[in-house]
Chain A
Amino acid sequence: MPKDDIKEFRLVGTRPNRPDGLDKVTGRARYGADITAPGMLWGAVLRSPHAHAKILKIDTSKAEALSGVKAVVTRADFPTGLTGEEWNLQENTMAGEKALYDGHAIAAVAATSSLIAQEAVRLIKVDYEVLPHVTDVDDAIKPDAPVIREGAADASVPEGMPPNVVKYFEFGRGDMEAGFKDADLVMERSFKTEATHQGYIEPHACLGQLGADGKGEMWVCTQGQWFIRQMCSAVLGLNAAQLRVTPSEIGGGFGGKTTIFMEPLSLALSQKAGGRPVKIVMSRSEVLRATGPTASASMDVKIGMTKDGKLTAARAEFRMQGGAFPGAPVDMALYCSLAPYKIENVEHIGYDVLANRPKCAAYRAPGSPMGAFAVESLIDEMCRKLDLDPMEVRLKNAVREGDQASYGPTFGSIGLVEVLEATAKHPNLAVPLGPNQGRGVASGYWFNHNGETSVSMAISEDGTAQVSVGTPDIGGSRASIALMVAETLGIAYEDVRVNVVETGALGVNEPTHGSRATFATGKAATIAARAAIKEMCRRAANEWGIDEDAVEWVEGAAQPAGPNAGNYPPMSIKDIAKNMGATGGPISGHHESVPDGVGASFGCHVVDVEVDPETGLTKILRYLVVQDAGRAIHPSYVEGQYQGGAVQGIGWALNEEYVYGKDGRLQNPIFLDYRMPVASDLPMIDTMIVEVPNPGHPFGVRGVGETGITPPLPAIANAIQGATGLRMSHLPMTPTKVLAALKASQE
């Protein structure tokens, strides 16, 4: 679809009520912990209190002897011989020879009540040999750091690197020396960000059942039921087709529910307990200690700029720890960090480093916020030094369609320039600032993603439609998919029901991640609806005795395509549905693919803050999110994604962090001390949806879930510099840190 073809739609772009709304506000919606089954047992998990320790002996005899206990499992109950990421998953599910972080699972119990299970966990005796540990990324990369695992490095790591470096990245283009020479100002700075958690409000919960015959069922709160199936099967040595996984409603995921934690434990316990279903619900402390927060990062950036704001060269060197396993998103951070800029000379270097922390999982645009923090902070500081308008500098260097991205590929249709131009005109930028107030801007980028997608839709007997999708609805995707299908079929939004179905009902679907559900599932559902339309046209053609190609679909009815095709009154979807039994049977549409045509999304945020010079407290006064959605199918949910991303970024920037003590234990595994923003901390987050349609999607969708968390970290740091003159280079920018920096600057 060409860019300027802004088509009018009947439904796409409207804001109907979400189909899951009533269930959610009345409490009827069934989340992970709401699932029960007859004969159900409760599981509980014993977790390591040590950051790094050899497990010498596990004595489960007392726990097993406790009345009501039906099964106890340790790593000895798992198959051996796994390799690569499957071994990593198994090792993270339950520790083998060593406990690798505070909270690492050591053993699990199933009992007739939750209290008995917890009591039994306390009766398990573990002999540990405590080992030296390391939790900070800069310490973990030292040559003499405690070694988390020998031989974990992959082929990318050159000879002679420190022992905890497990992946190494190096890429770039141009002539760095010449690039820096062309600059009038070259600046170099180091930055650090701390690990944060997705903070989804629903803790992990599952109910697993596995018989001696290897047939199993799992009900679980997840972003991806096929991932759960595949990962559980791998870790437990099961036949994937024999495990049926049904997703519950989901109270947030943000990437953190795209992998397994205690799910295999419930299956292993169930099998040992004679096939009785076992339910495990994590506490908030377990969620914080032992699920998948994001990585922490240490980053050096060097940038060259001319007097008039042209970027001549940029070098980014990032070190990230993502816990005791490979997988810190350092590659993604590097790819995204310079993506908004057209720069001839770029160099990227990255280190994925092991440390004694939980295995990181995806968190909303994994890696991108950290990279943006480093790059966008430094660009802002250079603009201030050269007295340049940060919006103009961003526009001057902005990438456009056809430009080669900093990380290699050539951009297709993108909307960064449109976003920056819209931002610059927004009234928030004209609001005058008072004393101790500052304004910060920053850009951000996310690729967006397609992934394996399989969708079926079927016409009901009354002409309404049901759509079976495999991507759990975390951001309103059922509403958006219903809008697209209803638009395509020419029926009412209310006449479409979208169901998120279990693994037995469709081909493999990747999770709802990478901002892909509305793009990929929406595209597949639209194509599936077109297939159903084709079939309905065929039924009408048969009825009329004319050629199939001589029938067209208009406003929910088949009709002859023009006077030459024949003179028949339109046959509505209701008429066709009513007679489906007599005209060939059920009518459905199906589509499966890895949909091509992913459209990347850029955003720009503008934030005004006020810093209390006596306490260092930063207050968010105004916050604006501008982002290219491609097309907003349901604008309220697009705005919700923009606001949610901004709020999570605000938390990350100001107060959220994993605090580890000298003993390597997590100091703040509760929401009292893991300080996510509360509603009263925030102004209404202003949003502006820019629509540069993605030609790769039938309605122009790009995917909007992730870009929004990318700019807040630097935008807020930039605003704090405006308010105080201080360049804060280590997140979070807590009152303690800001006040200490203010005092130091006054000395």
Chain B
Amino acid sequence: MDFHTPSSFEDASKLAAEATGLTRFLAGGTDVLVQMRSGTVLPDTLIDLKLIPGTQGITRTPDGGWRIGIAVSGARLGDHAELIADWPGVVEGMELVGSTQVQGRATLVGNLCNGSPAADSVPGLVAAQASVEITGLTGVRTVPVEDIPAGPGKTTLQPGDVISGILIPPRGEHAGDAYQRFTPRTEMDIAVAGCAISLRVDGDTISEARVAVGAVAPTVRLVPDAAAALIGSTLDDAAIDALVAAVRAACNPIDDKRGTAEFRTEVAGVLAKRVAKIAYGRAKGEAQ
């Protein structure tokens, strides 16, 4: 196995493009190293990105949004008061990943690129309308987060593509987001269903909304019908019923040892209802 520690994303991209066999980038390694240990993924080339300058930073962008370095751990996100004030839902998704030990290493980018339909931080990023900056052989481009996952363990990234940053838009006024997942245990478990909602209110009325679900389809899904059910409402019972129905309609889960398809679909609706209430409360400035 070849192990590289490039000092720029361009070099990382080139190394990845030129490598033969199986290649993996190393961010926190909490997926990659575990897969190597269990023998399920034995890469021929491992490219550690953590030595590239700037990968540990959380910075405010000129437009008031955020740029998050690809090596920022869950623990660092969870320590960032300003980011949490803006995007509590994004941060709480990442903070659910693993345990204290795993939090010290695990990253948003790794969570996204590992391609698990159950990745806990991805619905929050999708609901937040976050995007990723990709450094590839043809230069740098920006792609919405929801366009990265392609199926379990698969992404739309091409050979030579490396994510060089995560971009979260400015939060703006009267807005809130939230994420919840369902697991049979309180931690160290994998989501059986997850839901993130980001919304904005005008007075009591929801003026913008994005709803994303996890673990109920081959990829994390944005559910426009669910957002439509919320927009224009005051989160009254009818809106909640419509939200729940739209979320359940968007579910296309598998039946497995972690939960039946019926259960996942049912619970995704329950989570949507609960998460909408939290996001709505946050948007209205009620302490949650």
In the complex with contacts A118-B39, A283-B38, A678-B187 CB distance below 8 A: yes
Is the beta-carbon distance between A681 and B38 smaller than 8 angstroms? Answer: no
Is the beta-carbon distance between B185 and A675 smaller than 8 angstroms? Answer: yes
B63 at the interface (CB under 8 A from A): no
How far is B184's CA from A675's CA once the two chains are assembled, in angstroms?
8
Q: Which residues in B have their C-beta under 8 angstroms from that of A740?
A: 260, 262-263
Is the beta-carbon distance between B260 and A681 smaller than 8 angstroms? Answer: no
Q: Which residues in A have their C-beta under 8 angstroms from that of B185?
A: 655, 675, 677-678, 681
Is the beta-carbon distance between A736 and B263 smaller than 8 angstroms? Answer: yes
Is the beta-carbon distance between A668 and B190 smaller than 8 angstroms? Answer: no
When C-beta atoms are compared, the residue in chain A nearest to B263 turns out to be A736
Q: Which residues in B have their C-beta under 8 angstroms from that of A188?
A: none
Among A285, A614, A655, A667, chain B packs the most CB atoms within 10 A around the CB of A614
Q: Which residues in B have their C-beta under 8 angstroms from that of A655?
A: 184-185
Expressed in whole angstroms, the minimum distance between the Cβ of A585 and any Cβ of chain B is 55
How far is B270's CA from A665's CA once the two chains are assembled, in angstroms?
33
Additional pairs, 13, CB under 8 Å, beyond known A614-B270, A655-B185, A673-B190: A616-B263, A617-B184, A667-B256, A668-B257, A671-B188, A672-B190, A675-B184, A678-B185, A678-B186, A678-B187, A678-B188, A680-B187, A681-B186
Is the beta-carbon distance between B263 and A739 smaller than 8 angstroms? Answer: yes
How far is B38's CA from A615's CA once the two chains are assembled, in angstroms?
32
A734 at the interface (CB under 8 A from B): yes
Is the beta-carbon distance between B270 and A615 smaller than 8 angstroms? Answer: yes
B interface secondary structure, majority? loop
Among A670, A671, A672, chain B packs the most CB atoms within 10 A around the CB of A672
Is the beta-carbon distance between A673 and B257 smaller than 8 angstroms? Answer: yes
Contact with B along A94-133 (1 / 0, CB 8 A): 0000000000000000000000001000000000000000
Expressed in whole angstroms, the minimum distance between the Cβ of A716 and any Cβ of chain B is 14
Contact of B189 among A283, A616, A672 (CB under 8 A): A672
Query: Which residues of chain A in 663-695 are interfacial with respect to chain B, using CB atoms and an 8 Å cutoff?
Result: 667-668, 670-673, 675, 677-678, 680-681
How far is B182's CA from A63's CA once the two chains are assembled, in angstroms?
45
14 contacts between A and B (CB under 8 A): A118-B39, A285-B38, A614-B270, A615-B182, A617-B184, A671-B188, A672-B189, A672-B190, A673-B257, A678-B187, A735-B184, A739-B263, A739-B266, A740-B260
B267 at the interface (CB under 8 A from A): yes
When C-beta atoms are compared, the residue in chain A nearest to B266 turns out to be A739
Q: Which residues in A have their C-beta under 8 angstroms from that of B270?
A: 614-615
Is the beta-carbon distance between A736 and B260 smaller than 8 angstroms? Answer: yes
Is the beta-carbon distance between B258 and A615 smaller than 8 angstroms? Answer: no
How far is B258's CA from A667's CA once the two chains are assembled, in angstroms?
10
Expressed in whole angstroms, the minimum distance between the Cβ of A235 and any Cβ of chain B is 28
A654 at the interface (CB under 8 A from B): yes
Is the beta-carbon distance between B257 and A659 smaller than 8 angstroms? Answer: yes
In the complex with contacts A615-B270, A680-B187, A736-B263, A673-B182 CB distance below 8 A: no
Q: Which residues in A have their C-beta under 8 angstroms from that of B256?
A: 667
Expressed in whole angstroms, the minimum distance between the Cβ of A736 and any Cβ of chain B is 4
B54 at the interface (CB under 8 A from A): no
Q: Which residues in A have their C-beta under 8 angstroms from that of B169?
A: none
Expressed in whole angstroms, the minimum distance between the Cβ of B61 and any Cβ of chain A is 36
B259 at the interface (CB under 8 A from A): yes
Is the beta-carbon distance between B257 and A667 smaller than 8 angstroms? Answer: yes
When C-beta atoms are compared, the residue in chain B nearest to A734 turns out to be B184
The count of chain B contact residues (Cβ–Cβ below 8 Å) is 21
How far is B190's CA from A118's CA once the two chains are assembled, in angstroms?
29
Expressed in whole angstroms, the minimum distance between the Cβ of A670 and any Cβ of chain B is 8
In the complex with contacts A118-B39, A614-B270, A615-B182, A673-B258 CB distance below 8 A: yes
Q: Which residues in B have their C-beta under 8 angstroms from that of A680?
A: 186-187
Contact with A along B242-282 (1 / 0, CB 8 A): 00000000000000111110110011001000000000000
How far is B186's CA from A677's CA once the two chains are assembled, in angstroms?
9
How far is B60's CA from A687's CA once the two chains are assembled, in angstroms?
52
Expressed in whole angstroms, the minimum distance between the Cβ of B43 and any Cβ of chain A is 14
Contact with A along B162-201 (1 / 0, CB 8 A): 0000000000000000000010111111101000000000
When C-beta atoms are compared, the residue in chain B nearest to A673 turns out to be B257
Query: Which residues of chain A in 618-675 are interfacial with respect to chain B, using CB atoms and an 8 Å cutoff?
Result: 654-655, 659, 667-668, 670-673, 675
How far is B182's CA from A197's CA once the two chains are assembled, in angstroms?
24
When C-beta atoms are compared, the residue in chain A nearest to B189 turns out to be A675
Q: Which residues in B have their C-beta under 8 angstroms from that of A672?
A: 188-190
When C-beta atoms are compared, the residue in chain B nearest to A122 turns out to be B39
Among B39, B190, B257, B259, chain A packs the most CB atoms within 10 A around the CB of B257
How far is B192's CA from A617's CA once the two chains are assembled, in angstroms?
12
Q: Which residues in A have their C-beta under 8 angstroms from that of B263?
A: 616, 735-736, 739-740
Expressed in whole angstroms, the minimum distance between the Cβ of B255 and any Cβ of chain A is 10
Is the beta-carbon distance between A654 and B184 smaller than 8 angstroms? Answer: yes
Is the beta-carbon distance between A736 and B259 smaller than 8 angstroms? Answer: yes
Q: Which residues in B have their C-beta under 8 angstroms from that of A675?
A: 184-185, 189
Expressed in whole angstroms, the minimum distance between the Cβ of A666 and any Cβ of chain B is 10
How far is B38's CA from A671's CA once the two chains are assembled, in angstroms?
13
Is the beta-carbon distance between B257 and A615 smaller than 8 angstroms? Answer: no
10 closest Cβ contacts across the A-B interface? A680-B186, A736-B263, A659-B257, A614-B270, A667-B257, A681-B186, A655-B184, A668-B257, A678-B188, A615-B267
How far is B39's CA from A668's CA once the two chains are assembled, in angstroms?
16
Query: Which residues of chain A in 479-526 are interfacial with respect to chain B, using CB atoms and an 8 Å cutoff?
Result: none
Q: Which residues in B have their C-beta under 8 angstroms from that of A118?
A: 39
Expressed in whole angstroms, the minimum distance between the Cβ of A196 and any Cβ of chain B is 14
Q: Which residues in B have their C-beta under 8 angstroms from that of A673?
A: 190, 257-258
Q: Which residues in A have their C-beta under 8 angstroms from that of B184?
A: 617, 654-655, 675, 734-735
How far is B38's CA from A633's CA once the two chains are assembled, in angstroms?
43
Expressed in whole angstroms, the minimum distance between the Cβ of A195 and any Cβ of chain B is 14
Expressed in whole angstroms, the minimum distance between the Cβ of A273 and any Cβ of chain B is 24
Q: Which residues in A have their C-beta under 8 angstroms from that of B258?
A: 673
Q: Which residues in A have their C-beta under 8 angstroms from that of B257?
A: 659, 667-668, 673
How far is B26's CA from A499's CA once the two chains are assembled, in angstroms?
46
